[in-house]
Amino acid sequence: MEKVKVGIITCDRYRTCAGGKCFRSLENREGAFNIYDGKKVELVGYTTCGGCPGGNIEYAPAEMKKNGVDVIHLATGMIVGYPPCPYVEYFKSFIENQYEIKVVIGTHPIPEKYYTTHVTLKSWETPEWKSRITPNLTDEKVRLNYD
């Protein structure tokens, strides 16, 4: 069975988050983690971006790379926060170019309470945001399980 080493970087707003939704969705292969269905996954790093404008983005990927990371996920918190992270695309590009590590935007499914609020606020109306949230969109039943 193929093994994938994963790192997670979340928004510093959620620095006290215990990672429960990310870890549960990784175990269940839900949200952006559905790409690992049928694969063994090892979590090799978990940290925050360091706060705006993301100072830890310069250094955390290097440590994860030392731990053999194959893919870094920018946590769902970066896309569901109020406002969504304005740097998420830059972080993805920087990590992929600087460290040659694949980056996926998102981890766990978007919780329903965030989904309904962002739909009302029209936070994700642009084609770029629609593309960013797609791996984390699920049906309402799953979204409610992540509230």
pLDDT in tens, 18-53: 999 999 999 999 999 999 999 999 999 999 999 999
CB half-sphere exposure, 119, CA atoms < 13 A: 8
Q: Mean pLDDT throughout 46-70?
A: 97
Beta bridge partners of 40: 3
What is the number of domains present in the chain? 1
> Given pLDDT bands bounded at 50, 70 and 90, which one contains residue 108?
very high
CB half-sphere exposure, 28, CA atoms < 13 A: 14
The per-residue pLDDT for 40 is: 97
CATH of the domain at 138: 3.40.50
pTM for the model: 0.96
Q: Which domain holds residue 106?
A: 3-145
